[in-house]
Structure 1
């Protein structure tokens, strides 16, 4: 698939950024943290609003973090966050994951979270990550596996939303079940399979506060973000279907026993 054929399914609507801003190094890349050293230089590919990048910068006080994003919009929030937290060893750049504008062997760590699932050519992105990583360095990638999402109870309309989400992601050129494919993409990019460590981890939203937050942002995202616009343009969902899906999310959020689990695949590649 060509690099240009993928479109970011969610866009940068407020409901999307609220979700992304919840992410930290602890809840989104804990598998990487034991490998970090204070003087490392890290590239965070697809950094979004910068919450993971800013958190990672605390682990490398003598090093630095560069957060890269394809569009400038979320970087405004990232810059404000770093200033608010007093984090000085982080900077922000605009760039394309398929063609990183850095010399070979630049970074000790190249990290990406929930990025390659949205790319038209994830193997090419891994080639680029490999190119800019120093020998002896690390490539770390964590991706959702949408098909493995699960929830309780089985609220009417949630299954239809799930199928709609997978259809829309694929219609936009991405791979929603990226979590199970990471090690294969890395191997196809030229990384020795013996140097790839594969793990899994997840998120769970189950408290009343978590359910309210998660269901509200997904109900809003389903009808107001780029997800809705692109779904209609690509013919993967109608206005009526989107409204029903948003209603299902609100119903699920009000379920006393509601529980939502998200499965992620993770890889550490030693270069």
Structure 2
């Protein structure tokens, strides 16, 4: 049955400059924990069906599709605009086994037991009802299939140079996410979330994986995305409208600090993500 609840909005929005970090993600740098399971299942059944929820511009979806050339990947996102970027990327990279469809993760428009693998990356952290979303993903997963999740824990940020405005930014983005109904520390709670969704503990395989941004290109990608969210994104609007404790001058200083971090030849940033593979 479709949910009638009004859920929270996605604060970062979909401007390319605000989500350029999403286009950096690939199966190799953001879903490595899933690849052994994907490859093992593909050996048994080359015609796997994989659903990627909240796929955004589709860089992970497209790279996952390359691992199952005889299978099918369906990439979904709430935004019709951004999911079309996934279709364009697939075409540009010659990937013919990927389809896109605008869809709400709470109300996935697919029959029960439709997919061998259901994947979501940094989706549940933004949601006000993550258990409900996970139950929706489990519904469309076949018995014996897997649901694979990777989510951030905002407490686990580490960066150099240790610029105070960036420390304040970490506090700010955490508060923005939680004030919007999201879950900034959900990464470490993924096994608990799966158990709340009714999965026995023995069917939950947990791990942790890190992102590290240190090259000039990586710093421009990550720091530029965070900077632009501060300058003219939905994040800035939310901070001011909800009076979260930081003003325009504070956010301008944070944006300047991101530029300083980008320019620092020894700049490095790391963050830890929780991961689970749930066997249905």
**Residue 172 of structure 1: aligned partner:** 180
The residue correspondences of 1:141-156 to structure 2 (distance < 5 A) are 141-156=149-164
The alignment status of 1:222 with 2:224, answered yes or no, reads no
TM-score (norm 1): 0.95
| Higher mean C-alpha displacement, 83-92 vs 234-243 | 234-243
Pairing 1:252–2:261 present: yes
Distance 1:68 1:216 in 2: 26
CA separation in 1, counterparts of 2:179 and 2:9?
A: 9
- Asked if 1:264 is matched to 2:266, the reply is no
Cross-structure match for 1:139: 147
Shift of 1:3: 5.2
Counterpart of 1:192 (choices 170, 188, 200) is: 200
**Paired residue for 1:111?**
119
Of residues 71-80 and 140-149 in structure 1, the stretch that sits farther from structure 2 once superposed is: 71-80
C-alpha distance in structure 2 between counterparts of 1:58 and 1:101, whole Å:
24
Q: CA RMSD, aligned part only?
A: 1.5
> Paired residue for 1:25?
27
Deviation at 1:76, TM superposition (A): 2.1
Shifted more, 2-11 versus 252-261: the winner is: 2-11
Is 2:8 aligned against 1:6?
yes
Gaps in structure 1 of 5+ consecutive residues: none
Alignment partner, residue 16 of structure 1 = 18
SS of the residue corresponding to residue 144 of structure 2 reads: strand
Q: How does 1:123-138 map to 2 (within 5 A)?
A: 123-138=131-146
The normalised TM-score by structure 2 is: 0.92
Q: For residues 178-201 of structure 1, give each alpha carbon's deviation from its aligned partner in whole angstroms, at most 9, with x where no partner exists.
A: 111111111101111110000011
For residue 28 of structure 1, report the CA deviation from its aligned partner: 0.8
- Helix, strand or coil at the partner of 1:268: strand
Query: Could you give the per-residue CA deviations for residues 66-97 of structure 1, whole angstroms, max 9, x where no partner exists?
Result: 11101111122111111111211111111111
Number of corresponding residues: 270
Residues 212 and 71 (structure 1 numbering): CA distance in 2 closer, same or farther, change over 3 Å? Answer: closer
| Structure 2 gap ranges (5+) | none
Return the alpha-carbon distance in structure 1 between the equivalents of residues 261 and 157 of structure 2: 14
Is the 2:26–2:63 Cα contact (8 Å) retained in structure 1? yes
CA distance in 1, matches of 2:82, 2:160: 32
Distance 1:3 1:142, change over 3 A: farther
Give the 3-state SS of the residue equivalent to 1:165 in structure 2. helix
Distance 1:76 1:107 in 2: 22
Q: Contact between 1:3 and 1:119, CA under 8 Å: does it hold in 2?
A: no
Contact 2:18 / 2:228 at 8 angstroms: preserved in 1? no
